[in-house]
Amino acid sequence: MSSFSKIIVGTMTWGVWGKNYSTYQMSDLIVEILSMGISTFDHADIYGGYTTEASFGTAFKQSKVERSSVQFVSKCGIQLPGTERPLAVKHYDYSKEHIVKSVELSLQNLNTDYLDVLLLHRPSPLMDPHEIAIAFEQLKIQGKVKSFGVSNFTPTQMDLLRTENLIEWNQIECSLTQSEAMFNGTTNHMMQHQIGAMAWSPLGNYFKDDNPQKIRLKPLMKKMCEIHNASEDQILLAWLLKHPAQIHTVVGTTQASRLKDALDSLKIKLTLQDWFLLLEASLEREVP
């Protein structure tokens, strides 16, 4: 886990689900991100309707970046109806055949021989820990995946898989405006079992809506920004990074300048009382 950058670059909006960057734009951005000291990239097979991994992989090959200098995280399991897959319904597939096939396709698309981490994208009511273990073991022996984890799993769902699988990561939704994972046992469970934590949407909905929660937070955020000479997004990330679960934040911006700002948030040290002041404003109540 130590080789993973604390700020992880989320690639969901690099392709047709967002900026639709060209190969040259992606290649230049990869090189610039590496020059900052960020080395971990988060993918999923479904991003861009099953197209973004291939776009990134072409750009990565063009960048001439050494594979050993970066880490690739990807996810599988969601079967999403669309042009690439004319399915009758969105569903989850954690059969051995699908997991192995998904990984092999991700490797081909990303122009790599291995994934640093494979995550099961969302829990399925039909997942069989034994069958998943067979797939994981095959991929591990073949050297196609270095480590395994899950995404959006609860403690009991993690425990079900852990009966037969080594689960090393869980990527969860967690932020100042969506802190439930810190209270429902999820982060405690991960710390107890030494499961690495990644947080998607680490800025929460703060910049999306002028809702009552943001209105409560705004004056306090302004004060924190002045104290720490920081931006609002940096304070939001610093709040999350203070958690003892040693959370790695998956930052979804496609702008190099904002990724540099995210990296600088590592230098911000909120006091204990400041951390709880922000939490109280977010929850609109004292800590229970």
For 76, phi and psi rounded to 5 degrees? -145, 170
Closest by Cα among 4, 5, 2 to 260: 5
The Cα-based distances of 167 to 117, 129, 143, 286 in angstroms read 10, 11, 17, 34
Distance CA 47, CA 269 (A): 34
Q: Are 99 and 85 within 8 A, CB to CB?
A: no
Q: CATH homologous superfamily for 7-209+236-268?
A: NADP-dependent oxidoreductase domain (3.20.20.100)
**Does the global pTM surpass 0.75?**
yes
- Per-domain residue ranges of the chain: 7-209+236-268
For residue 276, pLDDT beyond 80 = yes
Share of the chain above pLDDT 90, in %: 96
Cα dihedral value 236, 238, 240, 246, nearest 10:
160
Average of per-residue pLDDT values in the chain: 97
**Catalytic residue of the set 21, 47, 50, 206:** 47
DSSP string, 117-142: EEEE-S--TT--HHHHHHHHHHHHHT
| Count of Cβ atoms closer than 10 Å to residue 215 Cβ | 10
pLDDT band for 3, please (50, 70, 90 cuts): confident
94 among known catalytic residues: no
For residue 272, pLDDT beyond 90 = yes
Closest by Cα among 115, 48, 119 to 77: 119
Share of the chain above pLDDT 70, in %: 99
User: Which residues are within 8 A (CB) of 47 and not within 5 positions of it... i.e. 6 or more apart?
Assistant: 11, 12, 15, 17, 53
pLDDT in tens, 211-239: 999 999 999 999 999 999 999 999 999 99
Beta 78-79 vs 91-92: how paired, if at all? antiparallel
For residue 2, pLDDT beyond 60 = no
